[in-house]
Amino acid sequence: MAGRLQDKICIITGAGSGMGKAMAHRFVAEGAKVILADISGKQDEVAAAVGNGAIGVHCDVAQEDPVKALIQTALDKYGRLDVLCNNAGFGGGMAPLHKQTAEHWDRIHAVNVRGVFLCMKYGITAMLETGGGSIVNTGSASAVVGWKHHSVYAAAKAGVHHMTKIAALDYSDKNIRVNAIAPGTMWTGLVAASKTHETPPEGFPMLAGIPMGRWGSAMDIANAALYFASDEANYVTGTILPVDGGYSIGFSGMGAERPGLTTAEPENL
């Protein structure tokens, strides 16, 4: 039986770890041909692990020439691009707004906003030439509700959400769908303890107010990305889908901090 992404050509950025890595495994399991981009150097390791001819590409999405080369890799190898998952991003550096630095603002926005813009710009250019496609952006629940000490990161992800909506309008008549996922409290990336524990240790605290009462997983995000990437979502565009255990709809306005998050240097998600 054919997979839900059978023979679709997909680029996933931030594919060296976390949610991007989970997307790679999920997409290949559904028959996709994937090109995995990351700046960490781990993209080749993930490509080898997922198999099916996966290609790893070193790419800094904040830089225009590497992004153009990334998109061109898909065109040179397969002649088209069907799915683009803009997942590369990082957070960290949580602090009250007056303690944030302009340097931190620039670094966060370079990857999380400029990177999504550049990848969409050149990905859409390719899709216009080959009949359309699906774009899946990774936003954040922090752009839907307020998270204490996340002013810079939340502003960047809010930009991703709005670019998603406008691009969806711009290309709705060109067979290009643009949607975004808004992850909530995920056991990956920003959680310091996730570096040493694959799943939350017993008794590990979590943000109050999660109706489903658990941390989210990278595969929860990958499953949502799979839906948006597949033809099952062919009448869905401009949607921001919270994958947050109900947090954003049940938000109490407490302004609580997310427990267990690292305040170290930003890292790729």
Q: 153 Cβ partners below 8 Å, 6+ apart?
A: 91, 93, 94, 108, 112, 140, 142
Q: How far apart are alpha carbons 252 and 7 in whole angstroms?
A: 44
Q: How far apart are alpha carbons 60 and 90 in whole angstroms?
A: 12
Q: How far apart are alpha carbons 14 and 18 in whole angstroms?
A: 8
Map tokens 């992404």 to a residue: 5
Phi, psi of 104 (to 5 degrees): -65, -45
115 DSSP 8-state letter: H
What beta strand segments (E) does 111-158 contain?
133-138
Beta-bridge mates of residue 128:
none
Our measurement of the distance from residue 244's CA atom to the centroid of its chain's CA atoms, rounded to an integer in Å, reads 14
Q: Tokens for 18, please give them.
A: 């976390």
The answer to whether the beta carbons of residues 92 and 265 sit under 8 Å apart is yes
What is the amino acid identity at position 41? Answer: G
Region of residue 250 (phi > 0: left; psi between -120 and 50: alpha; otherwise: beta):
alpha
Is 153 an annotated catalytic residue?
A: yes
Q: How far apart are alpha carbons 104 and 97 in whole angstroms?
A: 11
Task: Using the CB atoms, write b or e for 173-193: b if 16+ within 10 Å.
Answer: eeebbbbbbbbbbbbbbbbee
Instruction: Give the active site residue among 78, 122, 153, 171.
Output: 153
Catalytic residue positions, numbered: 153
